[in-house]
Amino acid sequence: MCGIAGILTPSIDLRKEKTLIENISKTLKMRGPDAKGEYVTPQTALIHRRLSVIDIEKGGQPMRFGKYIIVYNGELYNTAEVRDELISCGYEFDSHCDTEVVLKAYDKWQQDSVKRLNGIFAYAVYDEQENSLFLARDRIGVKPCYYSRVGDLFAFASRISSLLCIPQIRPVVDERGLNEIFMLGPAKTIGKAIFKDISELPPAHYMVYKNGNISISPYWKLQAWENKETVDEAIEHTYFLVKDSIERQLVSDVPLATFLSGGLDSSIISRVASDYYKRNGGVLNTYSVDYTDNDRYFKKSLFQPNKDSDYIGLMSDAIGSVHHNVVLDNSDVAYALKEAAIARCVPGFADVDSSLLLFCREVKKNFTVCLSGECADEIFGGYPWYHRKEILFEDCFPWSRSTAARRNILRPDFLKNGEEYIRSAYDDTVKQTSYLEGESALEKRMREMFVLNLDWFMQTLLARKDVMSMESSLEVRVPFCDYRLVEYAYNMPWEIKALDGREKGILRKAFENDLPNEIAWRKKSPYPKTHNPVYFDCVCRLVRQALADKDCPLCEMLNIQSVENLMNNPDSMTEPWYGQLMQTPQVLAYIYQIYVWIKNYNVEFEI
């Protein structure tokens, strides 16, 4: 993977802005520590930082073909097919990297070329003759892409902090941004980026920038179609798509491993990867994460019914992997909250972020690429809110059903229109759902839930995975985000998807012969979090330090007494802030991360 950025402006001679270009490049260094490249003319600058994974010698960027120059961040999983088609059209290739394939595909098919790509990516193609820019992002939104237009300046980047290097782009947050943080966070609306001057190119969209005008168009959307497969056919089809997606993502010219939690999703990936390695004379390495003394303090809950540690060894033994268990110090996880918030460039996902950052750093010591099991729960119905009728048909975001916990920490008169903001965001998402005529109320609601999870919960997890892994210079691939699999799962009847009345029933059945029975039918458990009081105590100290800074605008937004009560009575919070992973320790960590974000980026507020 890589980091990309660019500026187009007629009013500044960018050849004289070497310091600015170098500063932007530095913000992308962790995304691409192996090499850097720049293309600079009086009115255009394209910046690239490379993490070398495929064709290390010949894949340098920016890359030119004719009048086009590309900066590309991503991986294609159908490189061979697209290359072969281009060769049949008369194109020749100097490398086996996917960047050259994307560039020449654009030369051949222009804007329609992005529809032919299966992968995770964000890239820009500059046309020297037309002085125009084509910017595209993958269908699911695995790779980030932000942009800003201020006056006659247009800029784009993989990171928000890269854009904030540009003096014309100010770190201003208005009421809309505050609603994103306090009413929806750590989720955010697709297309938004918290800051007033910065937007996000939505997944499955491309942009054309020319003569000061921006045109944004979708190139893919979930569409309802009738699936008439039998159960046996669906099992076979699911098995093929999942296995094919995993195997396509095992291609790498550098060492590769998998994350293994002992849950269904990561175990499937590790099984397929291990078999692939064995056929090629290799042995798979697997990694898991835990916390000091976590077994001692683990508390069983509806969302986290059992510990991963009980299952990881079983799965590793079954596939014969070389397993590495990374045990994180609880204080380190707390103190890494600051670095995680700065890396995200917006308030983050508390210790769910910081622990992943530390974990990825340990993996990076030996590997450059990993595969991870994110997003199977969203597309195959793995979360409790898919299965509990009292939640399923509630007309709200199922992972954040009430604003009570949020209102509790805020000043009483702050963000008075917050609930209206949430309602609008929810309604706008549900309106995007594609149905079939005559579908039952249950099937229609399951389609709505699919879209809600795809556009919100899944985007939060994908942003976390990209930022924390790339901050460690580790590329993490997510096979369950293959758009073919997403399309198929969207149109699978619920009674088949939830086969045998189980969450992810069809996925379990498809792979039950490849996994130990205890793994195949293990109840879903989320990413592990720390239950150790050492972490909570550290977070409370950090929050009290933040609250003591009376010069920070955050203090004017919070109900300080309520925050103090939360620290003194952590059990007083009776419902999660966000999903299954944010209870009192995480909410306090989120408050601290907001403080870090404000201070580090000198955030200005317009309210």
Query: Catalytic residue numbers?
Result: 2
Residue 57: CB atoms within 10 Å: 9
Residues with Cβ < 8 Å from 475, sequence gap 6 or more?
A: 1, 51, 53, 75, 368, 369, 370, 469
Reduce the DSSP state of residue 396 to 3 states and report it: coil
Check if the beta carbon of residue 596 is closer than 8 Å to that of residue 554.
no
Q: In 3D, which of 248, 297, 244, 283 has the Cα closest to residue 485?
A: 244
User: Concatenated DSSP letters for 515-554?
Assistant: S-HHHHTPPP--S-----HHHHHHHHHHHHHHHT-TTSTH
Residues with Cβ < 8 Å from 545, sequence gap 6 or more?
A: none
Distance from C-alpha of 567 to C-alpha of 338, rounded to nearest angstrom: 19
Question: How far, in whole angstroms, is CA 565 from its chain's centroid?
Answer: 33
Q: In 3D, which of 248, 312, 293 has the Cα closest to residue 482?
A: 248
Distance from C-alpha of 71 to C-alpha of 54, rounded to nearest angstrom: 15
Reduce the DSSP state of residue 16 to 3 states and report it: helix
Residue 416 sits at the vertex; the CA angle it makes with 149 and 193, to the nearest 5 degrees, is: 25
Structure tokens at 65: 């073909």
Q: What DSSP element (H or E) covers 166?
A: none
Q: Which residue reads 């490049």 in tokens?
A: 25
Parallel, antiparallel or unpaired: strands 146-150 and 68-76: unpaired
User: Concatenated DSSP letters for 186-217?
Assistant: TS--TTB-SSTT-EEPPTTEEEEEETTEEEEE
Q: Which residue reads 């100290």 in tokens?
A: 541
